[in-house]
Amino acid sequence: KKIAILFSGTGSNLEKLLEFLYQTSFEHAKIEVALTICNRPDAQGIEKARRFGLEPLIIDHTRYASREAFDEALVEAIAQSGAELTVLAGFMRILTPIFTRHVKAINLHPSLLPLFKGGNAIQESFDSPMKVAGISVHYVSEELDGGDIIAQRCFTKYEGMSFEAFENKIHALEHELLPQTVKNLLDKK
């Protein structure tokens, strides 16, 4: 079972996913990371991937004239890799139908979807009057952060919780949920 992982920045979710795959299910479930792609040549996550012996393919979005042209490059690389599932682990680009129609992908989003879609989700859910917050893993569709939800985790926002504590909680939950969800999806096959 081959997967592709796409990331843009720090790569903490990429790292946790790779740790999980290598430590636990990797051999047993026969999951192979066929490809990692990063759209930023200076992303910290590149070093993290290298520690697992993976050399990310850099597809720099600034070198493409349009979102569509960038997406075509992604689609081609993923198709060539033979990956049956693509995991967006902190991949911070809006994708067009060129990508969403050709690639089966899941995305990690730091809110309880369908609430707080888009790039400012952590701040918006922190600022909201809601007493619960959480994270989601969902299928990637043409609507930004709008595909079918696969799994979610939530927590209680306590009185006086700082933004830093809130954000740390979100990331801690993400680091658990993404690997679990990838494994569950591939185990089902």
Q: List, by residue number, the catalytic residues.
A: 109
In angstroms, the Cα distances linking 97 to 69, 102, 116, 140 are 12, 8, 22, 10
Beta strands in 39-104 (DSSP E): 57-58, 85-88
* 9 contributes a contact to ligand GRF by CB under 6 A: yes
- Give CA torsion, residues 11, 17, 18, 19, to 10 deg: 110
- Window 72-91: contact mask with ligand GRF (x via CB under 6 A): -----------------xx-
Q: Which stretch binds ligand GRF (CB under 6 A): 26-34, 103-111, 141-149, 180-188?
A: 103-111
Decide whether 71 or 174 has the Cβ nearer to ligand GRF.
174
By CB under 6 A, what part of segment 17-56 binds ligand GRF? Answer: 45
Q: 159: which residues sit within 8 A by CB, 6+ positions away? A: none
List of residues contacting ligand GRF (CB under 6 A) = 7, 9-14, 45, 89-90, 108-110, 174
Tell me the binding residues for (6R)-10-formyltetrahydrofolate. 67, 92-95, 107
